[in-house]
Amino acid sequence: MLQFPIYLDHNATTPCDPRVVETMLPYFTNSFGNAASRNHPFGWQAEEAVDYAREQVARLVGADPKEIIFTSGATEADNLAIKGVFEMYASKGNHIITCNIEHKAVLDTCKHIEKEGGEVTYLKVKDNGLVDPADVEAAIKPTTILIAIMYANNEIGTVMPVKEISAIAKKHGVLVFSDATQAVGKIPVDVNKDGIDLMAFTAHKMYGPKGVGALYVRRKTPRVKVTAQLDGGGHERGMRSGTLNVPGIVGFGKACELCMYEMTEESARLSKLRDKLENTLLTIEEAYLNGDKGHRLPHVTNISFKYVEGEGLMMGFNKNIAVSSGSACTSASLEPSYVLKALGLGDDLAHSSLRFGLGRFTTEEQIDYTIEQVTNTANKLREMSPLWEMYKEGIDLNTIEWAHH
Amino acid sequence: MAYSEKVIDHYQNPKNVGTLDKSKQNVGTGLVGAPECGDVMRLQIEVDEATGVIKEAKFKTFGCGSAIASSSLSTEWLKGKSIDDAVKIDNMEIVEELNLPPVKIHCSVLAEDAIKAAINDYRKKNGMPELKFEEGVVH
């Protein structure tokens, strides 16, 4: 039996795996100690739990536990990495290279750096959503201290050529930071194989709790340092003060462990379901895939249904199915998705997009229902769309003088 | 954001979706908005030439649920009104009737613009001077 509502917005957040919750529970009550209390069993227990979780988290990304700094989430980790490197390496230079489809936590942090006297190059991605490593190399200057490129994009799921970019960075002695929020736990990420020096990720995108994330900071070849952004008790090797969120960290650790053991099977299952959803929806006339079919996460697809507006489309089924859209109407800014626009999509196609994010508990039955609902609603709304009528009459919409509002 | 029941009802059962023959002398067509803005409304009226009363109104809209509801409601209100009365429909009446939240007021403005554009098209076709309107406030 299908149960409603169906959740297909796993890029926004994921439910906590019940096994994660179970692991966390004792740390709210009996084992509630402060991990920094060094002189009694309550503190020791908490510290031990955090140490264990740190190992679980480190193992998933091929890091040493000492290289994991716990934060409140990926946004904080992004801020700490970029601002922390900018301040720590001020004597080496002030130039940062990033790209135009990064998450706002990176882009807005870079904007802040510019106000502080930094210089930032925002590379344009190609139409498939990928950064060209040659563009990265061309942008490097003697003052470049950091290259910040996301591992996988949150809206279209494309996976960046991180390895190629880090090889270039190494050649020029520049640090590489990657916001891997969408990738860790979904596809194999290894900080050593990928040549990453700093990496942000978070628990709630991988079936862990909200409010806890991590910044990986390389300790060897090279030893990387970041200037702390919070002043206080000097936790996390002085890089992030603040009492550790013990239950959250324990849950994060468990979530990482589950991903490590189940990733291969889970991603194979999800990519099969994703392909079914995508291939069927793309048989709808004038439906287009956004992003790159080859280089992307296994559980994401982003499709534009031309001549239908995204929010209007979602309204047809959003009581029963949760997805998201790049349409302006769904954002606070009334601007359509900057990610989709960066792919060279016209605003009209950006307004017509839906993002589907599958997850651990998604079933084939849910996908079949989604295909049916999306198809029916798209067809119904096209019957109501003046643009569809014009398209069917062979009118080129570009020749019409629209009254721009 | 949750939609009001009236918006949902118009979205699920839109009134007067369709197309009138725009080449007819007594049909006025208003096409407003732009695809890049995510909203395009086309509103058409068929006028009884003897009485100046709107006897038929149809719409097609590309946009969100509130845009569809605003145009659906407009066609309902237009039918049976004289073109002189129809032109007085104010977007805030649509906002109130549909309970639109502030971020959706532009949908009602677009509907008002579409009504006025349709009436002006009819007037122009029939040798009447076009009416001048103030620019809408929220776009």
Sequential DSSP letters for A172-232 = HT-EEEEE-TTTBTTB---TTTTT-SEEEEEGGGTTS-TT-EEEEE--SSSPP----SS-S
Any idea which residue has 């200037």 for tokens?
A227
**CA separation for the pair A221, A218 (Å, rounded):** 8
Instruction: Please name the residue of chain B whose CA is at the shortest distance from the CA of residue A402.
Output: B34
Q: Exposed (0-12), middle (13-18) or buried (19+): which is A244, by Cβ within 10 Å?
A: buried
pLDDT, tens digit, for every residue of A190-244? 999 999 999 999 999 999 999 999 999 999 999 999 999 999 999 999 999 999 9
On whether the CB atoms of residues A337 and A353 are closer than 8 A, the answer is: yes
- Grade residue B2 by pLDDT with cuts at 50, 70 and 90: confident
**Res A272 pLDDT > 70:** yes
**CA separation for the pair A316, B70 (Å, rounded):** 16
**Res B139 pLDDT > 50:** no
pLDDT for B1 equals 61
Residue A81 to chain B, least CA–CA distance (Å): 34
Write phi, then psi, for A387 (nearest 5 degrees). -70, -40
pLDDT for A330 equals 59
Residue B68 to chain A, least CA–CA distance (Å): 8
Cβ-based neighbours of A81, under 8 Å, separated by 6 or more:
A148, A177, A198, A199, A200, A215, A217, A226
Q: What is the pTM of this model?
A: 0.94
CATH of A18-259, one of 3.40.640.10, 3.40.718.10, 1.10.3210.10, 3.30.360.10: 3.40.640.10
Q: Which CATH architecture has domain B5-125?
A: Alpha-Beta Complex (3.90)
Which H or E run contains A300? strand A300-305
**Res B137 pLDDT > 50:** no
Which H or E run contains A255? helix A246-281
Kindly state the average pLDDT of the residues A254-281. Answer: 98
Asked if B63 reaches chain A (Cβ–Cβ under 8 Å), the answer is yes
Lowest-pLDDT range, A121-135, A149-163, A313-327? A313-327
pLDDT for B92 equals 96
**B86 against A1, higher pLDDT:** B86
pLDDT for A346 equals 85
Sequential DSSP letters for A141-180 = -TTEEEEE--SB-TTT-BBP-HHHHHHHHHHHT-EEEEE-
pLDDT for A332 equals 60
User: Shortest CA distance to A400 belongs to which of B62, B119, B11?
Assistant: B62
Active-site choice (B8, B34, B37, B131): B37
Give the three-state DSSP class for A19.
helix
Q: What are the C-alpha distances in Å from A147 to residues A162, A227, A369?
A: 10, 17, 42
Neighboring chain A residues of B39 at a CB cutoff of 8 Å: 309, 405
Kindly state the average pLDDT of the residues A172-192. Answer: 98
> Counting every residue, how long is chain A?
405
- Grade residue A335 by pLDDT with cuts at 50, 70 and 90: confident
Residue A72 to chain B, least CA–CA distance (Å): 27
Any idea which residue has 């503190």 for tokens?
A43
Asked if B138 reaches chain A (Cβ–Cβ under 8 Å), the answer is no
Kindly state the average pLDDT of the residues A110-136. Answer: 98
pLDDT for A404 equals 58
**CA separation for the pair A185, A249 (Å, rounded):** 16
Nearest CB neighbour to B38, from listed A336, A389, A403: A336
pLDDT, tens digit, for every residue of A338-394? 999 999 988 889 999 999 999 999 999 999 999 999 999 999 999 999 999 999 999
Active-site choice (B107, B109, B118, B119): B107
CATH superfamily of the A6-11+263-399 domain: Aspartate Aminotransferase, domain 1 (3.90.1150.10)
- Grade residue A334 by pLDDT with cuts at 50, 70 and 90: low
What proportion of chain A, given as a percentage, has pLDDT over 70?
98
Q: Would you call B19 and A334 a contact, using CB atoms and an 8 Å cutoff?
A: no
Read off the tokens for A80: 């700490």
Kindly state the average pLDDT of the residues A139-160. Answer: 98
For chain A, what are the domain ranges?
Answer: 6-11+263-399, 18-259
pLDDT for A43 equals 97
Give the three-state DSSP class for B33.
strand
Instruction: Please name the residue of chain B whose CA is at the shortest distance from the CA of residue A308.
Output: B62
pLDDT for A12 equals 96
pLDDT, tens digit, for every residue of A43-76? 999 999 999 999 999 999 999 999 999 999 999 9
Any idea which residue has 């509103």 for tokens?
B43
**CA separation for the pair A262, A325 (Å, rounded):** 29
What proportion of chain B, given as a percentage, has pLDDT over 70?
95
Kindly state the average pLDDT of the residues A274-283. Answer: 98
Known active-site residue B37? yes
Nearest CB neighbour to A387, from listed B3, B17, B35: B35
pLDDT, tens digit, for every residue of B57-101? 999 999 999 999 999 999 999 999 999 999 999 999 999 999 999
pLDDT for A76 equals 98
On whether the CB atoms of residues A96 and A241 are closer than 8 A, the answer is: no
Residues 80-119 in B contacting A (C-alpha not used; CB under 8 Å): 103, 106, 110, 113
**CA separation for the pair A84, A131 (Å, rounded):** 24
Q: Would you call B37 and A404 a contact, using CB atoms and an 8 Å cutoff?
A: yes
